[in-house]
Amino acid sequence: MKRIRKILIVILIAAFLMNGFAESMITVNAGSVYNPSNTIIFTEKVGDIIGTPGETTHVKLPVRATADYIQDPRISVDITDMQFNVENIKLSAEGYTEENPPIGISNFSTTYIEFDLKVKETAKISNKKMKVQVEYVGFNRETNVQETFINDLPSVNFVILNEKEPAQLTIDSVSLNNATLGNTTELAFTIKNEGEISSLNTMFRVEGYEAAGLIPEYSKLKQEAGTEGRLPAGETYRVKLPVTVSGSATPGTKTLSIFTDYKDIDGAVYTTETKIYVNVTENSLTPAIEIESTKYAGELKAGSEFVLITTIRNEGVTDAESIEVSVEGLGINSFIPNYSTDTISGGTLEHNAKRDVRIPLIVPKEATSGLKEITVKINYMDDTKVVYTKTSKLYLEVMATDDAVASKPKLIISNFTTDVEELRAGNTFNFIFDIYNTHTSLNAKNIKVTVSQADNIFAVTNGSNTFYIDQIAAGQKQENSIELKVKADATTKAYPIEIKIEYEYDGAEANPATGEIGETVTETINLQAVENARPVVENVYVGNWDVPVVNQPTALTFEFYNMGKSTLNNVYATVQGDYLLSTGSMYFIGNVEAGYSEYAELEVIPSLEGLAKGTLVITFEDSNGDEINITKEFEATVQGEFIPDGGEMPGEYFPVEEPVKEPIIPTWLFVLLQIVILVVGIPATRKIILKLHKRKLRKIEDANLGD
């Protein structure tokens, strides 16, 4: 009976087990069934998610479903108005691997939702709620209809505590070496991103070439900077552009503008402009044509012919070849050429030689009376065929037409000179010029001469700038002299000086328009002024607070004053004598404006013990581009190098022998302890490993039953 009872119990248990297994199979085959009230919660406290601009933050959220196991969820992170992008969304849980991750969110243990937040470089300081959603599909337990369920995770703050500085593009290390007239050289500069954010689609261009007298020898005027337009924070890009200095350029400091255009990761557009200054110098071995004077013979009346005589001089050191003279500004309202070629050949002009170039012109019948502006243009070449250009503006007066007016004398400036070779700013000189009466029979009388300069560069030293001459006979000339002073702040260049001559003659009638009797003629000539540079070097000291030591770096300080009236360009210092510059061959100061001073501190190395003497050489360029040197002697007492007694130098290393340490326990006892630890530890370690492995298998089994 007991045996039969045991058999019945076994059969009953088997039936119950089979019934439960069948129900489980039905549930699986029917699909996932969900309670509509199912939610997702955090299984532990989740703090703020901290993001750093330009970096990736990994997020790991511990979650659990409150009712049913959620199978095959679709997880999304809302990036609307957020400053990040989301990557690598996945699930993880204890007991699973990257290759075999969980397929859902457990309702009895912790599942982790993991993803990466790639924070934008341009992210600003903020604190916003991050929205994470879980979406899944299954049968609603209440309606028994398949539905889509959406659960929002509890809110989490995404916080950015710091911002990065935007991209800032700067221009540095500008060079234009050997920028002499007619030379082809290289404009180089460095573009650097001083910010903390990369600049994208970075482009640059250079403007101002024409005004500077430079010609770009490259066709793509707007170019890319960086790698495919990207210039990361802190990186530089070196630019090298071929340019040619025009032969017609004027020497001196020129200004160019470098524009950079770029975007950030958000597409915002930025533009910067940086002005750079380069120096153009005149090649000392080239010709230099200057227009010494201009004059003409004949009357400038409608329908008349005359010859414009331009006196040119080669002030360079080599021959000026293939000289071609032309006149610009001609037309029916001023003058027309009385020659058939485009230009008038001037041949070759040797160093310091001069020549008159005759330009035949006609006053058109349609010309109106008054001053007419024309430009005399001279092109010439050096022996390497580099072309140079010199221009000069002239103002000629056309007289009113009257067939009833009798013949009249014509006064012109036939020659002029100065009693000094150099017209330096602040100095005086005598301006000597001849007035020539070109008429063959009529005398000019009651002559009034006025000498003036529009900018007052040349001013009369005493009395008036006007003087009188009783008479200049026909065919005769009158030499005149007037003392002038060059303005103190004049810069080096040619300035126009105007000579106005008013005169009468026998038979002259009153002008019907003005009622005045007589004639007026005005001539303009150019005089070359030279600026007066007044650099001063004072307070030259060697050493700081201690005595200079031979062969050791020390400070050399001085003050540089520009007491002149013009800017001194590209000022730099060198040292000669018993001292050497430790920072290179020179110390660059830059441009020093008039009335300003610069304090300079150089690092020098005395090479002589005792009284060491040196020479400070200051070099600068005047406004004409010529280099000028001034020197200042200095001396200082230099101390010898310190050597301790015994000849040993300070800082030498003397090794110290360490005492030999005694062992704590005998060697035989140490070996015995190691053997005991090995014999006892191996079985214990194996037992622990087996227990951990069994515990892991149980967890995997429990998780599978839960699924």
Residue 302: CA atoms inside 13 Å, Cβ hemisphere, count?
Answer: 12
Stretch 484-510: mean pLDDT: 86
The DSSP secondary-structure symbol of 155 reads: P
Residue closest to 370 by CA, chosen among 394, 393, 395, 397: 397
Sequence-ordered list of residues with C-beta below 8 angstroms from that of 32, at least 6 positions apart, any chain: 68, 69, 71, 136, 138, 139
Q: Which CATH number applies to 535-642?
A: 2.60.40.10
Fold classification of 33-160 (topology level):
Immunoglobulin-like (2.60.40)
Q: What is the mean predicted confidence (pLDDT) over 678-684?
A: 61
Whole-number pLDDT of residue 682: 61
For the chain, what percent of residues have pLDDT higher than 90? 39
- Residue 450's pLDDT is 93
- For residue 165, what are its two tokens? 């500085």
* pLDDT of res. 474: 87
User: What pLDDT does residue 693 have?
Assistant: 52
Give the integer Cα–Cα distance in Å for 501 and 436: 11
- Would you kindly state where each structural domain of the chain is located, as residue ranges? 33-160, 169-280, 404-532, 535-642, 673-707
Examine the pLDDT at 26 and tell me if it is beyond 50: no
Comparing 126-140, 341-355, 645-659, the range with the smallest average pLDDT is 645-659
Q: Which helix (H) or strand (E) holds 217?
A: none
pLDDT digits (tens, 9 = 90+) for 198-248: 999 999 999 999 999 999 999 999 999 999 999 999 999 999 999 999 887
d(CA 492, CA 21) in angstroms, rounded, equals 109
For residue range 340-365, list pLDDT tens digits in order. Answer: 888 898 889 998 888 888 898 888 87
Instruction: Output the pLDDT for position 686.
Output: 56
Residues 554-575: what's their mean pLDDT? 88
Whether the predicted pLDDT of 9 surpasses 60? no
pTM of the model: 0.41
Q: How confident is the model at residue 517 (pLDDT cuts 50, 70, 90)?
A: confident
Q: Is the pLDDT of residue 125 over 50?
A: yes
The yes or no reply on domain 404-532 and CATH 3.30.70.20 is no
pLDDT attached to residue 249: 84
| pLDDT computed for residue 594 by the predictor | 81
- pLDDT tens for 160-171 read 999 888 999 999
What digits encode the pLDDT tens for the residues 365-410?
777 777 888 899 999 988 878 888 888 888 888 876 658 344 688 8
Q: How far apart are CA 634 and CA 557, in angstroms?
A: 11
Mean pLDDT value of segment 265-284: 88
| Phi, psi angles (nearest 5°) of residue 277 | -125, 125
Burial of 243 (0-12, 13-18, 19+ CB in 10 A): buried
pLDDT of residue 651: 47
Task: Give the highest mean pLDDT range of 210-219, 505-514, 652-661.
Answer: 210-219
Select from 272, 275, 273 the least CA-distant residue to 255.
275
Range with the poorest average pLDDT among 87-91, 288-292, 664-668:
664-668
Report whether pLDDT(645) > 90: no
pLDDT at 705: 46
Q: Is 645 helix (H, G, I), strand (E, B) or coil?
A: helix
Q: Average pLDDT for residues 573-581, to the nearest whole number?
A: 91
Distance CA 620, CA 624 (A): 11
CB–CB of 503/449 below 8 Å? no
Query: Between these two residues, 685 and 543, which has the higher pLDDT value?
Result: 543
Out of 76-80, 116-120, 661-665, least confident range: 661-665
Q: Classify strands 519-530 and 423-424 as parallel, antiparallel or unpaired.
A: parallel
Instruction: Determine contact, residues 56/123, Cβ cutoff 8 Å.
Output: no
- Token digits for 481? 């002299």
**pLDDT at residue 27 is higher than 50:** no
The CATH number of 169-280 is which of 2.60.40.10, 3.40.50.180, 1.10.3720.10, 3.30.420.10? 2.60.40.10
20, pLDDT greater than 80? no
Task: Using alpha carbons, select from 576, 597, 572 the residue that is nearest to residue 586.
Answer: 572
